[in-house]
Amino acid sequence: MTAPFSTGPALPPAPTPAGGDHLKALDGLRGLAALVVMLGHSAYVYVDSGRAHGRLEALLKIVLRGGHPSVILFFSLSGFVLYLAFVKRPGTSYATYLTRRVFRIYPAFLAALALALALHLILAPTPQPGLGPWTLTNMVYPADPVMALRHVLMLGVFSSDIALDPVIWSLVIELRFSIVLVLLALLCGRSRIGLLALVILAHVAGRVVATRMHLPSPYIFGGSALGAAAITLFYLPSFGFGILAADLVLNTDLPRRLRLPHWAQVVVCAGAFAAAKLINDDLAWAVAATAIIFIAAAQGPVSSLLRLDPCLFLGRVSYSLYLVHLPILLALVYVLQPHVGLVLPVLLSPALSLGVAAGMYRWIELPGIALGKTLTADHRAAATRGA
């Protein structure tokens, strides 16, 4: 017997907006966000070294400050896209959904983890003059089998659980969101206000606990089970807002009633970003991210821009790019910085990371997705025969 991965008549199938091209636009949006994160870390390494001054320092700080809001955008995109899949496949069991999700996340994750561990073991980094404290903290650390196992299990409780590849902190949160997606989607189908209230209350509770535990901001790891739970609740609105936006697109006439002129779409995206930057709070960034996703899913100049080939390429490789860019950046910096300075490795890292990510997408991500579909297809066929 399978647990229904559906909500019944409360969530009827609906035509997809923008003639089905909205998913391509959202892929492009994800790709640009991954690019911002990668460039932000490269900028951070240079600023961290203390070599940037004046206008160059100001410019690099603008780039690096886009990294965390881009992660918030990832969370909202996941909520939006996973909810669409939830509605379009109402007969899918929870086991099938979770299996496919694991095979979507884990193959590239394990490959990136193996790459990071191999680089760490081969290079055996030690403190190096000319590098800043953030760079050295993420470069020089002890590694052992237990630490590697905790990475594989995506525990994400202590800093050592993400040391091999610090960006995986968000992947840990993403996996936790994926596990509870069904409950959130069911609640959305019955009461959008109920889901909105739940995620806001969760955010407030998470913020209060994280503050009382004196966790450093931005919240990346909790230091304990309670802290880990707190930061998960803290980021829940990002995911929940994405679900709500998808439900409004699919099941209401709101997109038609709010159909904006092309110039207004650009203004809304720019205004949402500017307002979130002014407030500079994660909840504000979640609202801004959802507004941008809503515009990207509609027809107009924003959607057209995001469906250009360069953006779509970035979208395809975005997951692998997100996972591998930091280990590659730190390895290049460690090897080249003593000989040629910091500029060359910082500039080389994005190009090398894109090449590695493209290979991982083709040879690891796609086969992993296909294997997950094959395994769940066999499972569903066996279940049908058993019934």
Indicate whether this model's pTM tops 0.85: yes
* 32-58 pLDDT tens trace: 999 999 999 999 999 999 999 999 999
pLDDT in tens, 60-101: 999 999 999 999 999 999 999 999 988 888 888 899 999 999
Q: What is the pLDDT of residues 109-120, one digit of tens each?
A: 999 999 999 999
Average pLDDT over residues 233-257: 87
Q: How confident is the model at residue 7 (pLDDT cuts 50, 70, 90)?
A: very low
CB 268 within 8 Å of CB 260 = yes
Among 155-159, 246-250, 317-321, 349-353, the least confident range: 246-250
Return d(Cα 122, Cα 143) in angstroms, integer: 12
pLDDT at 88: 84
> What are the boundaries of each domain within the chain?
19-386
Q: Quick one: how far is CA 326 from the chain centroid?
A: 15
pLDDT > 60? residue 16:
no
* φ and ψ at residue 295, rounded to 5 degrees: -70, -40
| Average pLDDT, integer, range 316-333 | 98
Contacts (Cβ under 8 Å, ≥6 apart) of 76:
238, 239, 241, 242, 245, 286, 289, 290, 293
- pLDDT confidence of 254, banded at 50, 70, 90? low
- Higher pLDDT residue, 15 or 261? 261
The span from the CA of 203 to the CA of 214, in Å, is: 16
Strand partners, 373: none
In this predicted model, what pLDDT tens digit does every residue of 258-315 receive, in sequence order? 677 877 888 888 888 888 888 889 999 999 999 999 888 887 888 889 999 999 999 9
Cβ atoms of 158 and 221 within 8 Å: the answer is yes
Q: Does residue 368 carry a pLDDT above 90?
A: yes
Per-residue pLDDT, 9: 30
Q: Give 216's DSSP letter.
A: P
Average pLDDT for the chain: 89
Buried/exposed code over 268-307 (b: 16+ C-beta within 10 A; e: otherwise): bbeebbeebeeeeebbbbbbbbbbbbbbbbbbbebbeebb
Counted residue by residue, the chain has a size of 387
- The model's confidence at residue 105, banded by pLDDT at 50, 70 and 90, is very high
Higher pLDDT among residues 376 and 16, named by residue: 376
